[in-house]
């Protein structure tokens, strides 16, 4: 004990003057919230907001004091008995192996020192702890400690940990949840609640025992807490939204300029819808993993262009590449509605007779999936059964440049090739732009510009940006729009999209499968909401016979079962009985020579 006192006094005399108690200094943060105000992510500074002990239930700080430093309110920054014990062990082993640090010492180390286990560093730590205690109150020290300590999984500070593991603010932590978080600090790796749940729960029992021993809670409260099984989020509750945030983050920084203070971005995202999309993508890809399904993406856009969900993959932590907004893939038969719309605008009707028979265009002869032909059918039947020969012939007859212009008029912004195979979806597009194009079918024929930012404001309420309402732009009129809706309703009711049915709703849509099963799609809509689901592999190798009418239709249905409860149920609107404005001029795209791998795009078999 005398040696300890001498070392502490010497360190105190030689230590540099203690700086003022530092604030949590960080770069300005951008907090993203969904359309209801729920936080979906934070970009910027490392730490969560500082802890306000006055707003926490008494059991929250008590849990940390009980397990980390039960004499915290009694000592002057150093627990002499604990350090003496640690020094005895250190002398015997030739190095420091035990901590026995008080909360004040831990804070001193966190603020000013390295994590090296040396006697010199330990002595300096003691000196700083003594100075901290002389200068600041216990409340200040504990608040800053809880604000900076690391809880694993990227969560710095109590507030971040409460949100990460329990999806709630620290002020709403239960006794058991507080005990779990307090137990993490011994080892954020070994007691990580999400990764080592059983170990974290077991350690929380030790924390509860310590809370009883220190009088923080009663034995009855401990018993009640142990009877509870809190929900621990294995992945961050807003993990799926990170793809959406990635999509708009650059737009925010470009719009708001250099962020010099914390700002809040109010977005169009519907978090429950986003979580449903992420869950459906993850579950469907896992269910079809044996068929080499690897990735999935989902986008949902409402009738005004607001992006309600955007999921760019099955696991953001492992694969953050945004397949929803950035990956350009062949659309397959999901492209055919643009062909049929061009034909309807040229004067055909759903009842128009067509013939499914062999066809050759510029030396190219597309096949049907079944390698058979149906003979005389209607245009509606051809769309519902995704007949390749009819779509190819129609595009050739109405003009592939006109089909390309129709797609662009609806919202396709990527380059559109005009070779004979374009009718079967060989152009490369993103799920985001395909969904935007289908939104014109869902909202009565109006082209939308998909967007995700409603307002950017400071925490004090000063508006930095407010989206202005955009005048509607008619892209499709009747009767072609109503006729196309009828044909795509049939595709779900009795065609290749039968697995996408959600009883009780007015739905329409189209399946899509590309050559060798590299890409599989289902794009569909109801009144006021469109959504596309894509599945494939990042290396663009084939999946195992996954068609748009199979796994993607299941994914779409799984997502829409939740999404449809989040929007008013409404029929698909017919749209205005007026002609849309002339299409924008179309620049001629280079004519590509189709190969068998690019053009032999089979339609999906009727899953019904």
Q: Where exactly are the structural domains of the chain?
A: 47-226, 272-449+470-599
DSSP 516-550: GGSEEEEEEEETTEEEEEEEE-TT----SS--TTT
The token pair at 365 is 């002869």
Query: Residue 255 to residues 372, 457, 581: CA-CA distances in angstroms?
Result: 55, 12, 31
8 A C-beta contact, residue 500 and residue 509 = yes
| pLDDT for position 127 | 81
Lowest mean pLDDT across 42-56, 235-249, 361-375, 510-524 = 42-56
Model pTM? 0.77
Can you tell me the distance from the alpha carbon of 502 to that of 561, in angstroms, rounded to the nearest whole number? 7
Model confidence pLDDT, tens digit, residues 97-151? 445 689 988 888 878 765 666 676 677 788 888 888 888 889 989 998 999 899 9
Model confidence pLDDT, tens digit, residues 563-574? 999 998 899 998
Question: How many alpha carbons fall within 13 Å on the CB side of residue 397?
Answer: 17
| pLDDT for position 295 | 98
* More reliable by pLDDT, 556 or 238: 556
pLDDT confidence bin for 587, thresholds 50/70/90: very low
Q: How many CB atoms lie within 10 A of CB 233?
A: 16
Q: List the catalytic residue out of 101, 147, 204, 333.
A: 333
Query: Residue 361 to residues 3, 382, 422: CA-CA distances in angstroms?
Result: 95, 18, 12
Nearest to 548 by CA among 320, 357, 324, 293: 293
Nearest to 405 by CA among 174, 249, 582: 582
Q: Does domain 47-226 bear CATH number 3.40.930.10?
A: no
Give the position of tokens 């749940």.
197
| pLDDT for position 181 | 98
8 A C-beta contact, residue 30 and residue 263 = yes
Q: Longest Cα pair distance anywhere in the chain, in angstroms?
A: 103
- Matching fold, domains 47-226 and 272-449+470-599: no
Sheet holding 519-526: strands in order across?
307-311, 295-302, 529-536, 519-526, 508-513
Element (H, E) at 201: helix 197-213
Lowest mean pLDDT across 54-63, 68-77, 83-92, 293-302 = 83-92
Decide: helix, strand or coil at residue 474.
strand
Please give the radius of gyration of the chain, using alpha carbons only, rounded to the nearest integer.
Answer: 31
With a cut of 60, say whether residue 5 has pLDDT above it. no
Element (H, E) at 302: strand 295-302
Element (H, E) at 64: helix 59-68
Model confidence pLDDT, tens digit, residues 368-395? 877 788 999 999 999 999 999 999 999 9
CA 318 and chain centroid, separation: 12
CATH homologous superfamily for 272-449+470-599?
A: DD-peptidase/beta-lactamase superfamily (3.40.710.10)
Can you tell me the distance from the alpha carbon of 128 to that of 480, in angstroms, rounded to the nearest whole number? 78
pLDDT confidence bin for 318, thresholds 50/70/90: confident
| pLDDT for position 575 | 75
With a cut of 60, say whether residue 590 has pLDDT above it. no
Nearest to 263 by CA among 481, 393, 458: 458
Active site residue 68: yes
Give the position of tokens 């004091």.
65
Percent of the chain scored above 90 by pLDDT? 67
Active site residue 133: no
């Amino acid at each position: 004990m005398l040696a300890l006192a001498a070392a502490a006094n010497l360190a105190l005399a030689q230590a540099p003057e203690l700086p003022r108690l530092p604030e949590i200094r960080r770069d300005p943060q951008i907090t993203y919230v969904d359309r209801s105000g729920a936080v979906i992510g934070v970009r910027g500074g490392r730490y969560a907001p500082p802890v306000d002990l006055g707003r926490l239930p008494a059991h929250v700080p008590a849990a940390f004091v009980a397990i980390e430093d039960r004499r915290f309110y009694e000592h002057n920054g150093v627990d002499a008995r604990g350090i003496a014990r640690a020094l005895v062990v250190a002398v015997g082993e030739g190095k420091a192996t035990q901590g026995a640090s008080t909360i004040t010492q831990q804070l001193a180390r966190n603020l000013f020192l390295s994590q090296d286990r040396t006697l010199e560093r330990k002595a300096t730590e003691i000196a700083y702890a003594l100075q901290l205690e002389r200068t600041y109150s216990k409340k200040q020290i504990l608040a800053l400690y809880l604000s900076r300590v690391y809880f694993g999984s990227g969560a710095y500070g109590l507030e971040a940990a409460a949100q990460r593991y329990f999806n709630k603010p620290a002020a709403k932590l239960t006794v058991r949840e507080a005990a779990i978080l307090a137990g993490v600090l011994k080892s954020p790796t070994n007691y990580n609640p999400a990764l080592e749940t059983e170990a974290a729960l077991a350690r929380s029992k030790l924390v509860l025992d310590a809370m009883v021993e220190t009088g923080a809670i009663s034995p009855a409260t401990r018993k009640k807490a142990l009877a509870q099984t809190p929900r621990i989020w294995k992945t961050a509750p807003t993990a799926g939204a990170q793809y959406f945030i990635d999509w708009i983050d650059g737009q925010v920084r470009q719009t708001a300029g250099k962020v010099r203070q914390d700002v809040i971005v109010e977005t169009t995202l519907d978090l429950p819808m986003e979580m449903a999309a992420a869950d459906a993508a993850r579950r469907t890809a896992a269910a079809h993993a044996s068929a080499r399904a690897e990735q999935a993406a989902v986008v949902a856009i409402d009738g005004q262009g607001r992006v309600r969900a955007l999921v760019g993959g099955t696991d953001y932590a492992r694969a953050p590449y945004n397949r929803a907004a950035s990956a350009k893939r062949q659309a397959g038969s999901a492209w055919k509605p643009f062909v049929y719309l061009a034909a309807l605008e040229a004067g055909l009707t759903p009842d128009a007779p067509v013939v499914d028979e062999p066809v050759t265009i510029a030396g190219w002869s597309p096949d049907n999936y079944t390698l058979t032909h149906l003979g005389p059918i209607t245009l509606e039947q051809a769309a519902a059964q995704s007949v390749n020969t009819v779509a190819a012939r129609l595009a050739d007859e109405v003009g592939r440049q006109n089909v390309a212009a129709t797609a662009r008029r609806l919202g396709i912004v990527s380059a559109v090739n005009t070779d004979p195979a374009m009718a079967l979806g060989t152009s490369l597009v993103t799920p985001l732009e395909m969904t935007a194009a289908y939104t014109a079918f869902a909202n009565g024929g109006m082209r939308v510009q998909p967007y995700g930012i409603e307002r950017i404001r400071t925490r004090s309420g000063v508006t930095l940006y407010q989206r202005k309402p955009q005048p509607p732009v008619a892209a499709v009129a009747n009767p072609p729009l109503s006729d196309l809706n009828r044909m795509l309703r049939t595709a779900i009711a009795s065609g290749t999209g039968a697995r996408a049915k959600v009883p009780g709703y007015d739905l329409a849509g189209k399946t899509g499968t590309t050559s060798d099963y590299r890409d599989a799609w289902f794009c569909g809509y109801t009144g006021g909401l469109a959504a596309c689901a894509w599945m494939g592999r990042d290396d663009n190798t084939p999946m195992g016979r996954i068609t748009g009418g199979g796994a993607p239709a299941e994914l779409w249905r799984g997502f829409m079962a939740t999404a449809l409860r989040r929007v008013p149920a409404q029929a698909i609107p017919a749209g205005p009985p007026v002609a849309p404005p002339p299409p924008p001029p179309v620049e001629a795209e280079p004519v590509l020579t189709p190969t068998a791998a690019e053009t032999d795009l089979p339609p999906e078999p009727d899953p019904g």
